[in-house]
Amino acid sequence: MLKLYYGPRTIAVATLIALEEAGAEYEPVRLDMANLQQRTPEYLAINPKGRVPALVTDRGILTETPATLAYIAQTHPDAKLAPFDDPFAFAEVQSFCAYLCSTVHVAHAHKMRGTRWVKESDKAALKAMKANVPNTMSACFSMIEEEMFKGPWVMGSQFTICDPYLFAIASWLEADGVDVTPFPLVMEHRSRMHERDSVKRVMAMQNA
């Protein structure tokens, strides 16, 4: 059985939703992120990166959200979470997930993880990075809203692994100081996601 290490309201929410959508048998393991359980020796032995998600499979441990989502989709093909019969369409899914991972999540991380890029002693740089997060996140979501989102789901009529991934990151927008008014498609998507049983179960799980 799969085991997923996650933190509430982290990017691991995307993987949780995908597991629920797939009807996968898995054990969720909640980490106390506020008290840095992800930095303990016990967890670092599972994921040396000290981050979530970490998905334990019978062949080893997978980290990074694009990888965990693709694995779930491929190992649960009946859920139809990715268009594996169409190489171009699957590449589009990968492209969207890669953008969220490499650009959007990184922009968000400048708010509280600035020491990944500058020294902790450089308070001015850290403050500047944090102050710019509303601008960079707005720019990212303008790209998604205007150029990438097909509707009604990210890739069009078919729900895919892109949808829980977008939902997880879009849930951070207001806390990042972003005016969401210019993103009606993303906001409607977020509302539609909240109506899905998989999302309701995951929300209940992380709020317990």
- In DSSP notation, 47-111 reads -TT--S-EEEETTEEEESHHHHHHHHHHH-GGG--S-TT-HHHHHHHHHHHHHIIIIIHHHHHTT
Residue 207 has a pLDDT of 79
Tokens representing residue 23 in the block: 């009807």
Whether the upstream peptide bond of residue 53 has omega within 30° of 0, thus cis, is yes
- CATH code reported for the domain at 2-80+201-207: 3.40.30.10
* Rounded Cα gap, residues 3 and 155, in angstroms: 28
Residue 194 has a pLDDT of 98
Using an 8 Å Cβ cutoff, are 107 and 137 in contact? yes
CATH 1.20.1050.10 residue spans of the chain? 87-196
pLDDT one digit per residue (tens) for the chain, 208 residues: 999 999 999 999 999 999 999 999 999 999 998 888 999 999 999 999 999 999 999 999 999 999 999 999 999 999 999 999 999 999 999 999 999 999 999 999 999 888 888 888 989 999 999 999 999 999 999 999 999 999 999 999 999 999 999 999 999 999 999 999 999 999 999 999 999 999 999 999 887 6
Q: Which residues pair with 3 in a beta bridge?
A: 27, 56
Residue 113 has a pLDDT of 86
* Rounded Cα gap, residues 53 and 196, in angstroms: 22
Tokens representing residue 79 in the block: 């859920």
Residue 93 has a pLDDT of 98
CATH 3.40.30.10 residue spans of the chain? 2-80+201-207
* Rounded Cα gap, residues 198 and 10, in angstroms: 16
Residue 121 has a pLDDT of 93
Residue 206 has a pLDDT of 80
- CATH code reported for the domain at 87-196: 1.20.1050.10
